[in-house]
Structure 1
C-alpha cells in the first residue's frame, strides 16, 4: 500500500513539472536585471519616450533571470532627475539544444535602481535652478525591473523551427535515397562484372 501511495505521489510531483516546461514563469515581485540597449536621453522639452528597448543582464543582486535572448519594451519619463521606466512587453527566445521556444506577452514591471529607489538615477548632463533639465541613461547602467504580478507565458508556435525540422527530414530522406541509389549502382556494376 505504501509503495502505491509513493508511486502516485511521485507521478503527482513529476507531471506538473513536465507540464510547466513550455512556460516561462516568474513570481510576483521578482527582480530581474536589465539595461537599455541604446543611450536614452530625456529633457524638459521631451520628458518621455515610448518603446524604449531593454535587455536582460547578469547581475548578482537580481532575484531571477530571463533567457539570454530577450527584448523588453518600456515607457520612460524624466521626473526630478530620475528616469521612471514602466515595462510593457516581453519577448524571449529560449534555447534548449536544437529547440527554440518563443515567449511573448504583456509585462507589468517598474524600474528600481541599485539604491532600491523607484526610478533609475540617470546622469544629469544639464541642470538649472529648477533641477535636472537633461538626463541620459547609458547601456552600461544596469538596474532592476520589479514585476507587479506573477508572469506565466506559454511557448508560442515557432514556424521557423517547424520549417527547419521539415528540411532536416527531407535532407535525411534524400540522403537515404542517395545511399540506396549508390548501393543499387554498385550491385549493378558487380553483376555486369560477372
Structure 2
C-alpha cells in the first residue's frame, strides 16, 4: 500500500510543471500553487486581520504549478464577510539538487482562492474564521513571477571544502612533552 501511494505521489509530482534549477525562478501570471498556513490562523470581528502570515507551498493537489519543496511565502489575511482574503507579498525558496542548492528571494503578488474558485477562502463558522495547517488552498499569481538566483555563501564554502578534501591534511606542530624528558 505504501509503495503504491508513493508511486502515485511520484507520478503526480512528475505530471505537474515544476521549476528546474536555473538562474531565475519563474511562474506565469495566473499560475496556481497549492499552499497551507504554517500555524493556525483565526480571524474574528474583534481581530479581523493578521499581517506577516507564514505560508508554505505543498505538492499533490490540483494546482497548475509547484514551487520548490523548501519555500516560505509571507502574506496578509483579512476577514471579509464569511471569507478569509489572503494575499502574498514575499517568498524565499531553496531549490536543491543533490549537494547543490540555489536560493531565490523576492516579491510575489498572489491571492488565495477557495475550491469554489472565488477570491478568498470560505473558512468561517459561528463568527470565527479559521485555517489550520491541514487545510490546502490555492494561491493564484496576479502577475508573472521572475526572481533571480541569490548568492549562496554556504554553497561557496562547501565548494571550497570539497576542493580541500583531496589535499593532505596539515601536520600539527610539534609540541614539547609536558613531562619534560
Alignment TM class, shorter chain as reference? 0.7 to 0.9
Alpha-carbon distance in 2 for matches of 1:143, 1:173: 51
Alpha-carbon distance in 2 for matches of 1:99, 1:167: 13
Name the SS of the counterpart of 2:54 in structure 1.
strand
**When the two structures are superposed, what TM-score results if normalisation uses the length of structure 1?**
0.74
* Post-superposition offset of 1:123: 4.1
Report Cα offsets for 1:67-113 as digits up to 9, x if no partner: 10000001000111211000010100000121100000000001001
Long gaps (5+) in structure 1: 1-19, 179-194
Report Cα offsets for 1:27-78 as digits up to 9, x if no partner: 0110000000110011111100101110111133100000100000010001
What CA RMSD, in Å, does the superposition of the two structures yield over aligned residues?
1.6
Alpha-carbon distance in 1 for matches of 2:61, 2:95: 21
1:151 pairs, out of 142, 145, 156, with 145
Alpha-carbon distance in 2 for matches of 1:113, 1:52: 18
**When the two structures are superposed, what TM-score results if normalisation uses the length of structure 2?**
0.79
- 1:55 matched to 2:24? The reply is no
- 1:77 matched to 2:78? The reply is yes
State the partner residue of 2:163.
169
Alpha-carbon distance in 1 for matches of 2:110, 2:69: 18
Long gaps (5+) in structure 2: 1-20, 172-181
- The aligned runs of 1:24-103 (5 Å cut-off) are 24-103=25-104
Name the SS of the counterpart of 1:66 in structure 2.
coil
Name the SS of the counterpart of 2:167 in structure 1.
helix
